[in-house]
Structures are given as structure tokens and as C-alpha cells.
Amino acid sequence: MNQRQRERLLQEIQELVPQALLGSLSETYRRCGNRNCRCHAGGPKHGPHLYVSYRGPAGKTTVYYVPEASHAAVRKGVEAWGRVQVCLRQLGIANKEKLIPSKPPARTRKRPS
């Protein structure tokens, strides 16, 4: 990876970080508590209800509900988080290759004295 590619990745990360949200999305459809509602009579369930889940510092998965008014922003934030991870992975691989070349240097043979 050349310096220009590295700078492009760093710039992209810098642009994405302010909106990035840790986690992954899941959608659910549910029945409500009203027995007379269409959802109990075989009609479509209510939803989608959007949730974000992530693994917290103690290793436990945490989930939170996303209000409908925030769906678009949260989707964009989780997508930004994923893109940041891709950029960081590319930088990490480039750093490894820079520090530890994949091909070891050729050995030089010592001449007997």
C-alpha cells in the first residue's frame, strides 16, 4: 500500500467516525397486546422493530431498541462502523507487511576465515 492509499483510508475513517455506531442491526415483527387487532387474526404483524446489539466490555451482548424516527440515522451509523472496520483492517494488514515482509531477507553465507 502506498502513502496515497494510506492517506485516503485515514481520511475516510476521519469522515466516518463522527457517525459510527458500534453494533449490528436486527429487525423483528410482533403481535401487540390487543386481542382484536389484525395481527392476532392472521394479518401482518407490527414492525419492523429495529434493535442494535453489541458485545460490551464484560463480554456480554447488549441490545437496545431504536425508535422509528431514528431508524435511518442508526442504519447509517452501523454501516459507517462496518466501513471503519474494513479501513482499519486494510491499514493493519499494510502495517504488518511494512514491519514484517512476507519474504524473509536472503541469507548471506559467511566465508570461512
Which cell numbers hold the place of 59?
A: 463480554
**Of all residues in the chain, what percent carry a pLDDT higher than 70?**
95
**30: helix, strand or coil:** strand
Residues 87, 13 contacting (CB under 8 angstroms): yes
- Reference 14, options 110, 87, 111; nearest CA is 87
The model's pLDDT over 48-91, given as tens digits with 9 standing for 90+, comes to: 999 999 999 899 999 999 999 999 999 999 999 999 999 999 99
